[in-house]
Amino acid sequence: MTSTDLVPFMMRRPGVPFPPPEYEGFRTKPGLTKAALPSGETVWLVTRHEEVRAVLTDPRISSNPTHEGFPRPSRTVGAPSADDVPGWFVSLDPPDHNRFRKALIPEFTVRRIRALRPAVEQIVDHAIDQMLAKGNTAELVEDFSLTVPSLVISALLGVPKVDRDFFEEKTKVLVTLTSTDEQRDKASEHLLRYINRLITIKSKRPGDDLISKLLQGGLLTPQELSGVSMLLLIAGHETTANNISLGVVTLLQQKQWIDDDRMIEELLRYHSVADLVALRVAIEDVEIGGQLVRAGEGIVPLVAGANHDPDMFERPDEFDPSRSATGHVAFGYGVHQCLGQNLVRLEMDVAYRGLFRRIPTLEVAVPLEELRFKYDGVLFGLHALPVRW
């Protein structure tokens, strides 16, 4: 195969609906599709629902970036390993990965997350108060969608209220595409230093927060806890923000609100923002969808492809809030399935209820064609969402 036969890794999404039209072609041809990363490396793309789930549960396929051939989306950017950042457990395979899940799962159960509802409602209400105080227009991504998850995660970790502005400012720098590498490095250094200080304080004066509970649980070292805190912060910030913003656009377009969990699941399936997140490498030869993948070859299971597979979901490119989207893989699948998914569902629910109840005349302030979508990042979303009421 010559390099001109390869499809480019970052495919343009056409806006709404999703995903890139190329996925359909990949799905209907036998085997897998080989793609070129901007770094020059090649990977296998997996788009069918059944095969995406098979990849994400196969022990011969690894999440560890220290393995030869692990995909690096660009020449300079690669996923950190748990050797680089102790506690970065998304990059570990079982059995090393198990200890982290065991320590964290009790903090993310439906019951634990439900108890956070009043705190999340307060955060959402405050963000809306601030938007309303500024007049009758806002830029929703900056003023709401990025603010809410950042404040929620800081509340969860036990960041004192007085420090939340600092925390929010630094996390925004980390996930904003327009930040320079230098700004991002500096923000990350400040946050890490802050988190380490917080861990020291909580070890002396524990509170009713995640860091204190994990310290008391004794399963993780303070150094690992610092990496875990950074992972939660990064994994849960822009992902949730993109979902909230895209959901607002879709719900306003639909002009329909189904007041139950099905709507949230359908939004997650339909948008599938973390399409390019679950990178993998084969550590043994393995056959996927009739395709031999050799040890050392990179694999990218495309969750947007799987979530728009007509063999799994009827009329997959249609947003249908009354369907059951159960079985979608927007949060991945298998041992690495998103730890924060119950929190995301809560944040989306509280965010939409708050926005549409308190601002019933909310509308997108520009024609849909003028919205700037993030076609070029690892996550799908909106750069900005001008709204008015």
Question: Which of 46, 195, 343, 385 is close enough to bind ligand HEM by CB under 6 A?
Answer: 343
C-beta of residue 62 within 8 angstroms of C-beta of residue 27: no
Q: Report the residue from 43, 230, 278, 282 that binds ligand HEM according to the rule CB under 6 A.
A: 278
Of 260, 262, 383, the closest CA to residue 328 belongs to: 262
Answer whether 336's CB lies under 8 Å from 101's CB.
no
Q: Which of 151, 231, 293, 362 binds ligand HEM (CB under 6 A)?
A: 231
Instruction: Enumerate residues 6+ apart whose C-beta is below 8 A from 271.
Output: 18, 242, 243, 246, 247, 250, 330, 380
Q: Would you count residue 234 as binding ligand HEM (CB under 6 A)?
A: no
CB-based contacts of 280-283 (< 8 A; 24+ apart in sequence): 280/55, 280/56, 280/61, 280/62, 280/63, 280/70, 280/71, 281/61, 281/62, 281/64, 281/67, 281/68, 281/69, 281/70, 281/71, 282/60, 282/61, 282/62, 282/69, 283/60, 283/61, 283/62, 283/67
106 HSE (CA, 13 A, CB side): 10
- Interface segment toward ligand HEM; rule CB under 6 A; list 23-31, 136-144, 208-216, 336-344: 336-344
Q: Any contact of residue 299 with ligand HEM (CB under 6 A)?
A: no
> Candidates 9-17, 45-53, 216-224, 327-335 — which segment interacts with ligand HEM by CB under 6 A?
327-335
Work out how close the CB of 361 gets to ligand HEM at its nearest, in angstroms, rounded to a whole number.
27
DSSP letters, 116-164, are THHHHHHHHHHHHHHHHHH-SEEEHIIIIITHHHHHHHHHHHT--GGGH
Q: What are phi and psi of 293, to 5 degrees?
A: -110, 125
- Whichever of 192 and 365 has its CB closer to ligand HEM, that residue is 192
Stretch that binds ligand HEM, among 47-55, 168-176, 188-196, 269-277 (CB under 6 A): 269-277
**Which of the residues 53 through 112 are near ligand HEM (CB under 6 A)?**
63, 89-90, 101
Part of the chain binding ligand HEM (CB under 6 A), chosen from 2-10, 42-50, 233-241, 368-376: 233-241
Closest to ligand HEM by CB, 147 vs 243, is 243
**From the list 336, 350, 355, 387, which residue makes contact with ligand HEM (rule: CB under 6 A)?**
336
Residue 156, burial from CB neighbour count under 10 angstroms (0-12, 13-18, 19+): buried
Tell me the residue type at 263.
M
Q: Shortest approach of ligand HEM to residue 268 CB, angstroms?
A: 7
Q: Which of 340, 350, 351, 381 binds ligand HEM (CB under 6 A)?
A: 340
Out of 116, 153, 155, 230, the only residue in the binding site for ligand HEM (CB under 6 A) is: 153
Q: Is 240 in the site for ligand HEM (CB under 6 A)?
A: yes
Helix (H, G, I), strand (E, B) or coil at 353: helix
Q: Residue with CB nearest ligand HEM? A: 340
Of 47 and 243, which CB lies nearer to ligand HEM in the complex structure? 243
Q: Please classify residue 256 by burial: count the beta carbons closer than 10 Å to its beta carbon, then call 0-12 exposed, 13-18 middle and 19+ buried.
A: exposed
> Any contact of residue 331 with ligand HEM (CB under 6 A)?
yes
Could you say whether residue 239 binds ligand HEM (CB under 6 A)? Answer: yes
What angle do the packed helices 341-358 and 261-271 form, to 10 degrees? 110
**Cα(294)–Cα(66) distance, integer angstroms:** 17
Binding residue (CB under 6 A) for ligand HEM from 187, 214, 277, 351:
277
Total residues at interface with ligand HEM (CB under 6 A): 26
Kindly tell me which residue out of 37, 273, 281, 306 binds ligand HEM, with binding defined by CB under 6 A.
273
- CA distance to 70, 117, 176, 356, per residue, from 227 (Å): 21, 26, 21, 37
Q: Which is nearer to ligand HEM, 26 or 380 (CB)?
A: 380
CB of 91 to ligand HEM, least distance (A): 8
| CB nearer ligand HEM, residue 173 or residue 338 | 338
Q: Of 147, 243, 245, 342, which lies in the binding site for ligand HEM, with binding defined by CB under 6 A? A: 243
Binding stretches for ligand HEM (CB under 6 A): 63, 89-90, 101, 153, 231-232, 235-236, 239-240, 243, 273-274, 277-278, 303, 330-332, 336, 338-340, 343-344
